[in-house]
């Protein structure tokens, strides 16, 4: 705003009224003229909220999705047309296995970007709701200490970003229309911060929290304004932007590359959303959230390790995604082509298996293929899948730390 007021136009001089608090800016810009370039037949879509961003990405990647928010068919068509014109797709550098919704008939209503999502295909208890966007995630398939997770349930119209590592506990349940983002913190602060709010919450106000009336959240949880805001912030300036809502999650073993993170604090939010009494687990989650060190969105930029986050996102290898996708397509599609796991050539080491997420994901993907084949009565697929599993185990066993040769079965 100050920049626009400081510039001149052909019909009016610059205005110093809004720039009184920044005389240097006014002095530098007031001699210059504001000029705009209008693109003939151009199109502009303003995405002012998290919810609008989610709908934009999902509509761009789907031919059928409509969030039915009453905005009208014309607006929905405009958003969808604009998204498609710039190349938005429902899946990019992504592999999904073991989830209902994520790899089922309604997968076109999801957007998965730069992510590897491998759930527990054994009982198909994990699911992803329609209208959800997932980016930069390596959704964990094991609980603490390598135990198979119970379930991972993501509700409808959610935004998940940066979820990684193993779960502390057995389940991860994200309520519908929630945003959950995990970011690493700089050294000296340590751990990760978990941003958690409703996709329709107004960040510049304090009207709703987690998609509910904020006064109801405070009343039912027993929280007070002093739990969310510093005393230095007057009530007239209290917003979600400066509320201490986002807990810092410490790593039990200080492994920031493959951490074990605890999302059990979500249970009390889920209970409020379900309008049920907070049980013992929910109360424990609320107590954990309240006792944790929390930071506000306005302070996150100073604490987040942007370099570490960029490095993590780059480790979600397009080669691994491609190889996992090819293997699943080759085995389930019964194609007469090599089922290659060449991307493991640089990481195959039996001694490192326990702590190597790439090897874990390969085995879990093959495990899910077996369960899917059995579930569909396609038992003839199992023979070749077991052969691939056997070859992979043999390569790990024989490597002994040496670089093995890529194999195919």
Q: What is the pLDDT of residues 268-322, one digit of tens each?
A: 999 999 989 999 989 998 999 999 999 999 999 899 999 999 999 998 888 888 8
Q: What confidence score (pLDDT) does residue 36 get?
A: 79
Q: Name the residue with tokens 């879509």.
A: 45
pLDDT band at 392 (very low <50, low <70, confident <90, very high): confident
pLDDT number for residue 115 = 94
What is the reported pTM? Answer: 0.78
Average pLDDT of the chain to the nearest whole number? 81
Question: What does DSSP assign to residue 258?
Answer: S
Torsional class of 291: left (φ above 0), alpha (ψ -120 to 50), beta (otherwise): alpha
Res. 355: pLDDT tops 70:
no
Phi and psi based region of residue 183 (left: phi greater than 0; alpha: psi -120 to 50; beta: remaining): beta
Angle 317-392-341 from CA coordinates, rounded to 5°: 30
Q: Classify 194 as helix, strand or coil.
A: strand
Q: What is the pLDDT of residue 19?
A: 41
pLDDT score of 34 more than 60: yes
Of the chain, the end-to-end C-alpha distance in Å amounts to: 62
Mean pLDDT over 11-32 rounds to 64
Mean pLDDT, to the nearest integer, of 159-179?
A: 87
- pLDDT, position 232: 94
> Which pLDDT band holds residue 353 (cuts at 50, 70, 90)?
low
Report the pLDDT averaged over residues 151-174: 86
pLDDT class for 9, splitting at 50, 70, 90? low
CA distance 124 to 199: 27
The pLDDT of residue 75 is 65
Query: How are beta strands 91-97 and 111-118 bridged, if at all?
Result: parallel
Dist. CA 64–CA 76, nearest whole Å? 11
What would the mean pLDDT of 2-12 be, rounded to a whole number?
A: 67
Name the pLDDT band for 99 (thresholds 50, 70, 90). confident
Q: Which of 16-25, 100-109, 237-246 has the highest mean pLDDT?
A: 237-246
334 vs 36 pLDDT, higher one: 334
Domain extent listing, the chain: 91-322, 337-399
DSSP-derived 3-state class of residue 195: strand
Q: Report which listed range, 25-29, 146-150, 188-192, 264-268, is most confident.
A: 264-268
- Give percent above pLDDT 90 in the chain: 38
Residue range 173-195, pLDDT digits in tens: 899 999 999 999 998 777 899 99
Tens of pLDDT, residues 327-344 = 899 999 999 887 777 667
400: pLDDT strictly greater than 80: no
Whether the predicted pLDDT of 381 surpasses 80: yes
**Which DSSP category does 145 fall into?**
G
């Amino acid at each position: 705003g100050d920049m626009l007021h400081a510039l001149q136009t052909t019909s009016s001089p610059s205005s110093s009224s809004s720039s009184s608090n920044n005389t240097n800016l006014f002095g530098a810009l007031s001699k210059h003229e504001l000029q705009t370039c209008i693109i003939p037949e151009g199109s502009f879509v303003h995405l002012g909220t998290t919810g609008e961003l989610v709908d934009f990405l999902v509509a761009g990647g789907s031919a059928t999705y409509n969030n039915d928010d009453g905005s009208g068919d014309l607006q929905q068509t405009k958003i969808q047309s604009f998204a498609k014109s710039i190349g938005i797709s429902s899946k990019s550098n992504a592999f999904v296995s073991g989830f209902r919704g994520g790899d089922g008939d309604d997968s076109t209503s999801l957007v998965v970007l730069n992510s590897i999502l491998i759930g527990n295909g054994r009982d198909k208890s994990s699911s992803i709701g329609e209208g959800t966007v997932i980016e930069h995630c390596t959704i964990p398939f094991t609980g603490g200490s390598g135990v198979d997770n119970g379930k991972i349930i993501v509700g409808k119209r959610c935004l998940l970003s940066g979820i990684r590592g193993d779960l502390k506990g057995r389940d991860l349940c994200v309520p519908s229309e929630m945003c959950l983002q995990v970011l690493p913190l700089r050294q000296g602060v340590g751990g990760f911060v978990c941003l958690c709010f409703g996709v329709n919450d107004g960040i510049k106000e304090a009207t709703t929290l987690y998609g509910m009336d904020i006064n109801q959240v405070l009343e039912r949880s027993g929280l007070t304004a002093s739990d969310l805001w510093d005393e230095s912030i007057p009530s007239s300036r209290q917003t979600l932007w400066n509320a201490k809502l986002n807990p810092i999650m410490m790593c039990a073993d200080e492994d920031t590359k493959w951490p074990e993170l605890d999302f059990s604090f979500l249970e009390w939010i889920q209970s409020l959303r379900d309008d049920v009494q907070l049980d013992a687990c929910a109360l424990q989650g609320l107590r954990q959230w309240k006792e944790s060190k929390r930071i506000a969105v306005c302070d996150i930029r100073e604490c987040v390790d942007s370099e570490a986050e960029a490095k993590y996102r780059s480790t979600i290898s397009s080669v691994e995604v491609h190889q996992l996708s090819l293997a699943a397509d080759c085995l389930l599609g019964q194609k007469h082509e090599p089922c290659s796991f060449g991307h493991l050539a640089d990481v195959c080491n039996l001694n490192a298996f326990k702590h190597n997420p790439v090897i874990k994901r390969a085995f879990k993907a093959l495990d899910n293929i077996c369960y899917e084949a059995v579930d569909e009565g396609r038992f003839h697929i199992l023979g070749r899948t077991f052969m691939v599993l056997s070859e992979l185990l043999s390569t790990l066993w024989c490597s002994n730390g040496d670089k093995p040769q890529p194999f195919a079965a």
